[in-house]
Amino acid sequence: MNLEQVDILYDRDVIMARVKEIAQEITRDYQGKSLLVVGILKGAFVFMADLVREIDLPLEIDFMDVSSYGASTVSSGEVRIVKDLDYSIHDKDVLIVEDIVDTGLTLYYIKEILAKRSPCSIKICSLLDKPSRRKAHIPLEYVGFAIPDKFVVGYGLDYAEQYRHYPAVCVLKPSVYEK
Ligand code: 5GP
């Protein structure tokens, strides 16, 4: 990690301790259900990999990638599916895994799209939550850490596709993007 560019917010040990707690809750809550864990690409891939390995239940995994619509609708936050799920979610208990919830608009639309496919249930698990920036009301059943309104990278999160591989969640120093 280049510590001239980032400040560590949560190191790997702190993250793993929290991931284990969340996985225990999920293991309790989904006993006897048809759990399908849906990761939102790309940011959730590291969190998802750690989380599912701590869940002590049968489960399936799928991924979805979305992007914002063109300039005219950016303010609405409406999303377009870039990569859809590979399998049906009919009658499944869907757990969406996300890296960070900011305005909440992305997840609002993802949930709306998936709800039309007759799943048994849909819940959300996000590693990070920036509640101060919320625009869409979206319940988050499992949250790792609530953070202040700072731009974070690492543990899957990027800035211009860099930093995803950093093992810690870090605040990107403004000097990096204010050049
Ligand atoms: P929302 O629709 O909730 O505003 O946007 C969520 C998405 O915005 C996240 O999945 C992530 O891609 C991006 N995002 C929001 N805040 C941050 C941040 O602090 N760092 C990074 N790397 N991405 C962020």
CA dist 122 → 70, 78, 125, 138 (Å): 27, 19, 10, 12
What is the amino acid identity at position 177?
A: Y
- Average pLDDT value for residue range 110-121: 96
- Residue 110 makes CB contacts below 8 A (sequence gap 6+) with 40, 64, 66, 79, 96
Give the pLDDT score at 178: 85
> pTM score, two decimals?
0.94
Give the pLDDT score at 74: 43
102 lines ligand 1 (CB under 6 A): yes
| Ranges 19-28, 131-140, 170-179, most confident | 19-28
Cβ-based burial of 126 (10 A; exposed 0-12, middle 13-18, buried ≥19):
buried
Cα(102) to centroid(ligand 1), Å: 6
105 lines ligand 1 (CB under 6 A): yes
Given a cut of 60, whether residue 70 has pLDDT beyond it is no
Given a cut of 90, whether residue 83 has pLDDT beyond it is yes
Q: Does the annotation count 149 as an active-site position?
A: no
Q: Decide which of 89 and 74 is more confident.
A: 89
Q: Which of 10, 73, 99, when mutated, tests ligand 1's pocket best, judged by the most ligand atoms within 8 Å of its CB? A: 99
Give the pLDDT score at 72: 47
152 lines ligand 1 (CB under 6 A): yes
